[in-house]
Amino acid sequence: MSTQDGWTTIDRSDWAASGVNLSGTTGHITVEKFNFARAAFPVGLVSTARGYSFNSSGCAGTGSFSSMPTRAVTIAGSNFINCSGTTAILNIPATANYQADNKNWSITNTKVWGASVGGIRLSPFTSSPFATITGCDCSGNTGIGIDVQSPCYFRDNTAEGNTTFGINFQSLEDAAAYNLTARGNTTGEVQLSNAEVEIYGLDTNTVGGSASPQIYMPNNVGGRAVIYNWTQYTGGAPAAQLTRLGSPATNQASGNTVNAQKEGGNAANNTIYTDFGTATTTGVVGQPGSGIAWKLTPNAKALADSPLKVNVGKVACPANVPTTIKYWAKHSAASGISSRLRVPGGRYAGVGSPGTDVVSATVSGTAYAQYSVTFTPTENCVVDVFFETWGSTTQNATVSGPVAISQ
């Protein structure tokens, strides 16, 4: 028969071998519209063969593939239900073959549910070219839903109800992800372990609530996230924990941050979560004509030499022209907290020196007043202006525009 007109189901019943054994092939084979059940391996593959495709097929109560080929594999529109394996059901291996072939794994519109291990894992050092993981749902697994340890095309993925983390980003720099859902995972929704990731669209709003950290960073590792349009669980029963920044010990700081923009889909709601406190625009009323304003609430780790700070502007400055930059600021109480504007010295020729910054007068009072920094760079530059605060765990400082610049 030359035309496929239905599905083929192979139930081995005995878990003794492969549903279809392709170990004698050289690759370039497509398995499509097959269902496999109770097989040790749904498909027996050759680890070095090229061109395998597994499309519109399903595996129920089987193991994973007999091997994970070190050449590109395409998996599309398939389901792996209650399967078992090692580390993850779809474990993309590290190899130099992807670069040699100019092609990497592609897993799209695929479900991994109820596995005895993790769902999908992308090994380190597999980013040339990028692998593709899109439209996948890895939920209810005993392990990490989706474990990403190399840059890849990563979008429209879901991970719910896994026993550790929904999504893990590890050993990454300048990675990007789009339209992710991670909810109801036991240890945390999204983990960052020595990773810097930008996420454009994230839903961690678990139905019924969850006390698990929605962004989780382990102790003694680095992590930084920028999240645009974050739908959070913010309830009190159970109490929501938006971030865990992984401080290594009491009174120690990791330096990890989560920058959230457009929280809850509201462009006015933006928060920076740090070891030294939080800075937010949510519900903050600025000086008239300012647009948004930042309220900074320091914690006990925020000291004069390690303040809670926010970058309030980048200002282009011409060489040899005096520049004065003014912002409005105030405190929530008349005393007990310290704040100021600061331009770091030593970064720009003629602007302070290493260890000697250009700073404003200390903020005083509970009503908005203007504070300024003045300097004369000796070359054209773009300077960063920071507002920083420290000295209280119960009070806050607010900085606002309109910004006044004279040159």
Prediction pTM value: 0.94
Q: Is residue 3 part of a domain?
A: no
Does 163 have pLDDT greater than 90? yes
Of 280, 307, 324, the one marking the end of a domain is 280
Handedness of CA 85, 86, 90, 96 (dihedral sign): negative
Q: Are strands 381-390 and 308-317 parallel, antiparallel or unpaired?
A: antiparallel
290: confidence class by pLDDT, cuts 50, 70, 90: confident
Does 2 have pLDDT greater than 80? no
Q: What is the largest CA-CA distance in the chain?
A: 86
Instruction: Provide the residue range defining the domain that includes 396.
Output: 293-406
Q: Is residue 165 part of a domain?
A: yes
Give the pLDDT confidence score for residue 14 in this predicted structure: 84
Does 391 have pLDDT greater than 90? yes
Of 280, 305, 320, the one marking the end of a domain is 280
Name the DSSP class of 326: E
Of 280, 313, 343, the one marking the end of a domain is 280
> Does one domain contain both 347 and 247?
no
Q: Is residue 287 part of a domain?
A: no
Give the DSSP H or E segment for 97. Answer: helix 97-101
127: confidence class by pLDDT, cuts 50, 70, 90: confident
C-alpha 352/C-alpha 373 separation (Å) is 11
Give the pLDDT confidence score for residue 26 in this predicted structure: 80
C-alpha 181/C-alpha 233 separation (Å) is 12
Q: Is residue 1 part of a domain?
A: no
Share of the chain above pLDDT 70, in %: 98
CATH number for the domain spanning 318: value is 2.60.120
Ranges of H-type helices in 74-166: 97-101
Q: Is residue 285 part of a domain?
A: no
> Does one domain contain both 251 and 370?
no
Convert the pLDDT of each residue in 228-273 to its tens digit.
999 999 999 999 999 999 876 666 777 899 999 999 999 999 999 9
Domain count, the chain: 2
> Does one domain contain both 301 and 274?
no
> Does one domain contain both 302 and 179?
no
Average pLDDT over residues 138-148: 98
> Does one domain contain both 254 and 210?
yes
